[in-house]
Amino acid sequence: MHRVVIAGVASAMLLALLPAASAEARSVYFRAKPSGITCGALRIERRSATLRCDLPFAGRRAGFLHTQGKGEIKRVSSFMHPRKRAVLRRGSTRSFGPFSCVSLRAAVSCRVAGGHGFTLGRSFQLVF
């Protein structure tokens, strides 16, 4: 009887851990070429997804875009260094969950449904 209870408790603990692991797996990272900006679409399986694009050439700043509201640029403590990331080549457009991004010559431009977004480059950052 003890073994059955222990096995049941162990199974319940394992199932409780699975959603946290799958949430991590649902983030998608990409690098826009030729600008070199690294972005991550985080928690894209949820209604409150976030897109983050790091700007190492603009100090410790990153552009953020949420499923609701305008894009914004904030100071960050560190940059993302994902092991696996897709490449978004110049002129290519791709969707990452609710976000659509295009790689430009010297920038990356991303939007979310509703028209909000940002265009980030070495010489300028525009949020809308």
pLDDT, tens digit, for every residue of 69-117?
Answer: 899 999 999 999 998 899 999 999 999 989 999 999 999 999 998 899 9
Mean pLDDT computed over every residue of the chain: 82
First CA to last CA distance, the chain: 62
Q: What is the pLDDT of residue 48?
A: 84
pLDDT at position 100, please? 97
- Does residue 67 have a pLDDT over 70? yes
Report the number of distinct structural domains present in the chain.
1
Looking at the domain assignment, is residue 14 inside a domain? Answer: no
- Residue 23 clears pLDDT 60, i.e. is over it: no
- Model pLDDT for residues 37-60, shown as the tens digit of each residue: 999 999 877 778 999 999 988 889
CA separation, residue 87 to residues 30, 56, 90, 93 (Å):
5, 18, 10, 11
Is residue 21 in some structural domain? no
CA separation for the pair 77, 60 (Å, rounded)? 7
pLDDT band for 3, please (50, 70, 90 cuts). Answer: very low
- C-alpha span between 77 and 9 (Å, rounded): 39
Residue 97 lies inside a defined structural domain of this protein: yes
pLDDT, residue 11, reads 37
DSSP-assigned letters across all residues of 28-88 = EEEEETTTTEEEEEESTTSTT-EEEEEETBTBSEEEEEESSS--EEEE-SS----SS-EEE
Q: Indicate whether 6 belongs to any domain.
A: no
Does the residue 74 lie in any domain? yes
* Domain assignment of residue 40, given as a range: 26-127
pTM of the model: 0.76
Helices (H) and strands (E) in the chain, counts: 1, 11
The residue ranking higher by pLDDT, 10 or 84, is 84
